Homo-oligomer: A and B are copies of this chain.
């Protein structure tokens, strides 16, 4: 990637290390290698256990829950490590997302998405409304699988999905999706050093590029007491053409006691993208979960040397997309950074279970906390990903 000097300092901010301020390294790596076991049992139970071994020496816990189905009022009740219902782009499976990395705002306000919690999922019988209500612990247990601490840092979350138009006659080629989501969190801004738990009042994200450091980062905010996130989502899909947009806003209240506390804070961000299937397929939609699904190419990719007739070929499906993304994590005494981003994407679907993605990202960061005097920077990055699931 090409970068301006500031980015080097955001990537390698430790003055003691030899690569302090150097530009980010090129990276080739396995992004996700997940093993999933899921099923249903005794007609009314469900379970899923999923671990990611992209770094084989250190697994990461992903979905890890059990649940009961068909309950009155509650619908499906899931207990365990699961995604918090905040941000359409996080709820979409990474297997189906069109861009390689998630938008700034989505990852910033719901980092890694999964937490230990309990949540109820239900929908109306005509599937035009669906909702989720849940409560979650705020600490990310991806690595160690345990939440330790006397201070209960927890959140309440809810999401309501409405799909006023879903063109059944065309097998769902046309649809409109709206959703609102909210979160009320109570971090331990006090972060007493004799407690085992850390202050979860922190927002941070990578810049839609898999860099080593998170270039936008508020740090753990001293005195963070309560915060509220509100989000709106929309999709308009017309056959091969899709418009998607989301906006999220976060208000954080601080106490008056903690060392380093300050005034209340407001952060916010948004993104929108348009995508088009050159080969005419459409991106499917699941009304009860309010998320997009798996693209099925009309013709799978293959190249076979048939002895008499020369080479027979199928070319899979091709999709173009462009996304604009914005995030503002700088307010009052906190300078997490402000970023504007544009991404271009191309997806080549070999078949429903594998594809190759190409992304070009241009980003501009400003109002960042100074590192060696730099408060802004810009970068361009190229990324490609090969994906298969089975």
Does A350 touch B at the CB level, under 8 Å? yes
Cβ of A16 under 8 Å from chain B: no
Asked if A309 lies at the interface with its beta carbon under 8 angstroms from chain B, I say no
Question: A72 CA to B313 CA in the complex, in Å?
Answer: 10
Q: Is A169 an interface residue (CB 8 A)?
A: no
Verify if A279 is at the interface (C-beta below 8 Å from B). Answer: no
List, in ascending order, chain B residues with CB within 8 A of A71's CB.
Answer: 303-305
Q: Are A26 and B149 in contact (CB under 8 A)?
A: yes
B29, B137, B302: the one contacting A43 at CB < 8 Å is B302
Q: Is there a chain B Cβ closer than 8 Å to A55's Cβ?
A: yes
Q: Is the CB of A55 within 8 A of B144?
A: yes
Cβ proximity bits A249-266 to B, threshold 8 Å, 1 near / 0 not: 000000000000000000
For A152, list chain B residues within 8 Å (CB): 26
In the assembly, what is the distance between CA of A241 and CA of B120, in Å? 37
Residues of B within 8 A of A22 (CB): 194
- CB A163 to nearest CB in B, in angstroms, measures 23
| A170 on the B face (CB < 8 A) | no
Assess whether A373 is interfacial by the CB under 8 Å rule. no
- A61 partner, pick from B30, B116, B305, beta carbons under 8 A: B30
Bound together, the chains give a CA A238 to CA B19 distance in angstroms of 59
Q: Does A146 contact B (CB under 8 A)?
A: yes
A160 CB within 8 Å of chain B: no
At the interface, yes or no: A351 with Cβ under 8 Å from chain B?
A: yes
Q: Are A56 and B51 in contact, with the CB atoms below 8 A?
A: yes
Tell me whether A147 and B51 are in contact (CB under 8 A): no
Is there an interface contact between A64 and B33, defined as CB atoms closer than 8 Å? yes
Determine which of B18, B35, B55, B64 lies in contact with A194 in the assembled complex, contact meaning CB atoms within 8 Å: B18
Distance between Cα atoms of A116 and B212 in the complex (Å): 20
Q: Once the chains bind, are B143 and A19 in contact (CB under 8 Å)?
A: no
A37 neighbours in B (Cβ, 8 Å): 35, 390
Q: A29-B145, A148-B25 are in contact. Are A305 and B55 (CB under 8 A)?
A: no
User: Closest approach, in angstroms, between the C-beta of A65 and any C-beta of chain B?
Assistant: 10
In the assembled complex, the Cα of A41 lies from the Cα of B350 at a distance in Å of: 11
Residue of B nearest to A23 (CB): B150
A149 touches B304 (CB 8 A): no
> Digit string of A375-390 for contact with B (CB within 8 Å is 1, else 0)?
0000000000010101
A-B pairs with beta carbons under 8 Å apart, 20 shown: A25-B148, A25-B195, A26-B152, A27-B148, A28-B137, A28-B146, A28-B148, A33-B61, A39-B390, A41-B351, A42-B300, A42-B302, A42-B350, A42-B351, A45-B350, A55-B143, A66-B386, A68-B301, A70-B302, A70-B303
Give 19 new A-B contacts, CB below 8 A, not counting A19-B194, A56-B60, A58-B59: A18-B194, A19-B195, A19-B196, A26-B148, A28-B116, A28-B147, A29-B147, A33-B64, A41-B354, A42-B350, A53-B59, A55-B144, A56-B142, A57-B144, A59-B59, A70-B304, A71-B304, A72-B303, A72-B304
> Interface residues, chain A, CB within 8 Å of chain B?
18-19, 22-23, 25-30, 33, 35, 37, 39, 41-45, 47, 49, 51-61, 64, 66, 68, 70-72, 79-81, 116, 137, 141-150, 152, 193-197, 212, 300-305, 311, 350-351, 353-354, 386, 388, 390
